[in-house]
Structure 1
Amino acid sequence: MGSFWFWLVCFHIASPSSALLPGELHKFINAHFRNNCHGIDLYFCNIEDAVGHMKFRWLIFTNDNMLSVINILELSRLEMDSDVTLINSQNDSTLQFTRLSRMYFKTNFTLPANYSLEETMIDEKISQPIQWRGENVNFNNYSFDAIVIFLEGNFNKVEDIPNMLNKSVQPGVENIRRYFFVPVWYLMELYNFTLNMSNVKEWGVALPNGSLTGAFGMVERREVEFGFTAVRLDPDRIKHLDFSVHMILSRFIFVLVQPKTFGTAAALIVPFESSTWWAFILLVLVLIVSMRIIASTDKEQSHNDSWGGSMLMVFGGISQNGIPDSAFKISSRAVYLVTLLSLFMVSLYYSTGVLSGLIIPSPDPIQNVDQLIASDTGIGGQDEVYIRRELLKNDSTTKRARAKLISNPFLQMKAGLEKVKQGRFAFYGLEELLRIAIEGQFTAEERCLISELQMVRGFQLSHFWRKKSPFGEILNVGLLKMRERGVMNYLEQYWLVQKPKCSAELLFAPIKVPGMTLAYAVLAVGVVISLMVAIFELLSARRWQTLPLQFTN
């Protein structure tokens, strides 16, 4: 081919470090062009290098045949948002301008504009860059290689996309990853491209030599262009891959049923704290002793004639039945009055506490992880590798939570939630997966009893593609537009299970049999003791009746 001469005008939008160095530019200008790039140290032929093909405007002057130059550039790495203008001098006064663009380095250039003009008008014509952003992007139905990751369900091929987008098909299966793919489907329609889709079962890890395995490795090696699935942004991954704008903020949480205050065997004890109960017992003892003291000074008392009588009178006041006695002296009446008033106030506070617990919903006793760790609630987690890894972290909160793990703490999802339903157990897992499982296992009323506690900060989930991909900005712009226009919010409401919004209602919550256990226990103990005392009294009475006969004989 004949000689080239180039003049380069370069406006760079990304970081300044991506601009061409003078030495590289000199090497490019003096490169010997052939019909292919093999064995040639040509700057534009380095497909793996992401510098130069993104967000540049190229102005190339040549006196060679335009089609020959275009054929050479077909082999280069000039891609979609590179604005290339070829200028060919046909004679001394006329230049031919050819504007080139293509959306992918494997496709051919398109020629959107081809015109001639006088040299004096060059500056005016080349000052307007090609506009590719927004809805003007058109990949001309190009089929990109991409991977998805579906561990469940039958969503492996492009033909499965209609079923994937239909929530009624396999409901509750892979909701998160299906939610992630729906915006991709919109982008396919918006930018006019298709996918050659492969389902991969392994995300991949970083090897000691620095390379990646699994889906990450396939994207890094450019075996595929995109990874359209939910991936956590990890520092090791960011070194090798670029990620989309975040789609959702995911969290690891504890789910538990708050400990019940009423309706349990301790329902008649919980209105008072332990210190209040001890103070009440002390008050009862003081009142019994006071009753016994005044009995020795007031002979008019008929029932307060012993320690047993004093106890009976005090307990009569506790049960709001009054004191079955009368007194002559003012001191005795004062003691009776103080006893009745003090016991009335205690009973009033107690009854109000029980009534409040039955009618007015009490605040959750466990509202954060610190309260969970301090309670008698056991802790377990879903039997997954990433859950075990989370619970093995060495921050102070995780260490304290790890000390609360029950024996055999890692359970399958169904078994763990059944244990949560029984109470006194908190189950650790991924928020979205827990909500899906809870929706299937719990009734609407039971779901309103579930509390969620977050132990560590949430993390972002995004799509991923190769480092410095020229398509990253276009796809991110499309995703941001969908979020700004409310599409993403709608998809989140549609695909992701939301925490139920439960409003507290002032409904009476009846005490069932377990809630009256203490009362029944007191009754049973009293009956047993009364029978034992009655038998003892009968035996004693018979013995005393036989003694006079023995003495008379």
Structure 2
Amino acid sequence: MFSAPLKWLILQNPNTAAHFDNCTYECLIGNFGNFAIYPDSEVIILRTSSSGSIDIISVYRSSPGRDVIEENRGFWRSKDGISIHDTYVSSRRRRNLHQTSLKSSIVVTNPNTINHLTDYHDKHVDTITKCNYVWLHHITDAMNATVTYSIVNSWGYRDKNGSWNGMMGLLSRKEIDIGGTSMFLVGDRWDDVVYIPLSTPTRAAFIFRQPPLSFVSNIFTLPFHRSVWIAIGVLFAVIFVMLAISSKWEWSARNVDQALYPTPTLSDNLMLVISIVAQQGFGRNLNTITSRIILMMLLLAVLNLYASYSANIVALLQSTTTSIQNLRDLMESPIKCGAQDIIYNHYYFQLEKDPVRRRIIDYKIEPRGGKSHWMSAEDGIKLVRQGFFAFFMETGPGYKIIQETFQEDEKCGFREMYFIEHFDPTFTIVKQSPYGEIIRVNSLKIEESGLKSREMLRFYTKRPICNGLQKFINVGLSDCYFAFHLVGYGTIAAVLLLFFEILWKRR
């Protein structure tokens, strides 16, 4: 009945004023020592003094094992009226908890984390736990309180019987005062805990390197715009027609023996153009000036086109694609996916109902009938380095591993794609905590003073800076994917033509 938001105003009976003057503390204040009058309580007592004035005092206890503390709030006199000394709210007046011992719990997924909570060693392991541990000590120092910890391996999820396990279980049973590790804002947790405004701005996302442009596009058609390709085709067609006319006139004008040197056919002229375009030379000599001028035009055109084409191909082979813009593109791409093997990833993946996200989980991370792609952060980032792999984990720890293991020329072209939609994880306290408002105010001070951002910079690594020093990329089979297609289709076409030629010859 003394907890917030209830407020008490206790008036002293004037007929017993003399009695209370003789035993002020023991008879008046000491009686509250057995009640739950804690820092969130508002108990105001109007006490009559021997001089006729009325003292205005507030009483509270910093913790169950502490004595009652008296606050002199002011006085009232019949001549002067009321005079208030302290108008501050209770969370400001009572921020000194006199070394009250608070209970907390932290989530540890790696046993070695206990040995490195404050030395910034292995920052990519249990990063949020280590960062929040330092924040919580800033809060308790501002409150002049101490804190004891219990260690759990889970943030807390409902069992089959509906009860909470992990840190949520300790909070819901009020076995601890404050959760030492931030947790996500989930709807079914609202009834059992209170969230305070100290969030950890970290996100989990798929981290992958943008694949080369040749991975998703026919790189052999990209050096020239479509209109340029059309213009090239028109140019070659005009030269072919001119060459066919010139060749026929040349043979007829020279009176060449048709039995020994038959007039070049359209097929011969077409092969001549194709041979020059493919830089394979040509099988016959042209003797007239007209034919040689046409041939020189073709050679000069092919020379300039090859120079431009080769320069663009070299640039494009080292370019990355921007075609993967959302989760659907990631699902439909040949890029493999994996996820960090940590408890909350398993939990939230089970709850996912979105069709696209569900397909990524069922076909790329947990393929039915195949090997699941749950792995450690180090193994996942190693696969990202090899290419064509997207790994789901916290971006800060992931970039820390990248910063330490990747070469400078490998720190470019990274892409983040968020998968789980949620607010930033936040600190939690028990329901109706007597220290709730004090913790909330000090949490805001931690952020306003810069202590929060300082620890974030120490524990969380930003995306590595790309200095542009990319080394030359070797061309592999995957980069020539469409060239093999062209060779394959050409071979099939050649075999079919051979088959039809045999049939034509037999008929």
Q: How does 1:158-197 map to 2 (within 5 A)?
A: 164-168=117-121, 170-197=122-149
Q: Which of 337, 362, 377 pairs up with 2:335?
A: 377
Find the aligned partners of 1:333 and 1:137 in 2 and give their Cα distance. 98
Find the aligned partners of 2:333 and 2:160 in 1 and give their Cα distance. 44
* TM-score (normalizing by structure 1): 0.69
Q: 1:260 to 1:275 in 2, by over 3 A?
A: farther
Q: Which residue of 2 aligns with 1:75?
A: 34
Higher relative contact order (CA 8 A, sep 6+): 2
Deviation string, structure 1 residues 47-67 (Cα, Å, up to 9, x no partner): xxx5445xx464442436442
Structure 1 residue 464: Cα displacement: 1.2
Deviation string, structure 1 residues 86-140 (Cα, Å, up to 9, x no partner): 2333569344554423333442221243987644455324x84355445972111
Are 2:406 and 1:442 equivalent residues in the alignment? yes
SS in 1 for 2:373: strand
Deviation string, structure 1 residues 122-170 (Cα, Å, up to 9, x no partner): 5324x843554459721111111222222224565xxx7xx522214x5
Q: 1:401 to 1:181 in 2, by over 3 A?
A: same
Q: Which of 431, 444, 461 pairs up with 1:497?
A: 461
Q: Percent identity?
A: 20
Q: Which segment drifts farther, 374-383 or 304-313?
A: 304-313
Q: Which segment drifts farther, 370-379 or 187-196?
A: 370-379
Structure 1 residue 437: Cα displacement: 4.1
Q: Which segment drifts farther, 345-354 or 171-180?
A: 345-354
Q: 1:263 to 1:460 in 2, by over 3 A?
A: closer
Structure 1 residue 242: Cα displacement: 0.5
Contact 1:382–1:416 under 8 Å retained in 2: yes
Q: 1:517 to 1:220 in 2, by over 3 A?
A: closer
Contact 2:211–2:320 under 8 Å retained in 1: no
Structure 1 residue 466: Cα displacement: 0.6
Are 2:412 and 1:412 equivalent residues in the alignment? no
Q: 1:287 to 1:61 in 2, by over 3 A?
A: farther
C-alpha RMSD over aligned residues: 4.4
Q: Which residue of 2 aligns with 1:87?
A: 46
Structure 1 residue 430: Cα displacement: 3.4
Are 2:104 and 1:146 equivalent residues in the alignment? yes
Q: Which residue of 2 aligns with 1:547?
A: none
Q: Which of 175, 193, 200 pairs up with 1:241?
A: 193
Q: Which residue of 1 aligns with 2:450?
A: 486
Structure 1 residue 236: Cα displacement: 0.8
Q: Which residue of 2 aligns with 1:61?
A: 12
Q: How does 1:102-501 map to 2 (within 5 A)?
A: 102-113=61-72, 118-121=77-80, 123-125=82-84, 128-134=86-92, 137-154=95-112, 164-168=117-121, 170-206=122-158, 211-261=163-213, 271=223, 291-292=243-244, 294-299=246-251, 307=267, 311-312=271-272, 314-319=274-279, 325-326=285-286, 328=288, 330=290, 332=291, 335-336=294-295, 339-340=298-299, 343-344=302-303, 346-357=305-316, 364-392=322-350, 393-402=352-361, 404-405=363-364, 407-413=370-376, 414-501=378-465
Structure 1 residue 182: Cα displacement: 1.0
Structure 1 residue 334: Cα displacement: 7.0
Deviation string, structure 1 residues 392-446 (Cα, Å, up to 9, x no partner): 5221331453465264242312443333333222222333443344445433433
Q: 1:375 to 1:254 in 2, by over 3 A?
A: same
Structure 1 residue 497: Cα displacement: 1.9
Contact 1:225–1:466 under 8 Å retained in 2: yes
Find the aligned partners of 1:138 and 1:487 in 2 and give their Cα distance. 20
Contact 1:378–1:426 under 8 Å retained in 2: yes
The residue type paired with residue 150 of structure 2 is: S
Aligned residues: 463
Q: 1:119 to 1:221 in 2, by over 3 A?
A: farther
Contact 1:138–1:192 under 8 Å retained in 2: yes
The residue type paired with residue 181 of structure 1 is: Y
Deviation string, structure 1 residues 30-79 (Cα, Å, up to 9, x no partner): xxxxxxxxxxxxx44xxxxx5445xx464442436442332332222222
Q: Which segment drifts farther, 399-408 or 492-501?
A: 399-408
Structure 1 residue 495: Cα displacement: 0.8
Find the aligned partners of 2:75 and 2:38 in 1 and give their Cα distance. 25
Q: Which residue of 2 aligns with 1:13?
A: none
- Extract unaligned runs of 5+ from structure 2: 488-507
Q: 1:399 to 1:208 in 2, by over 3 A?
A: closer
Find the aligned partners of 2:29 and 2:403 in 1 and give their Cα distance. 59
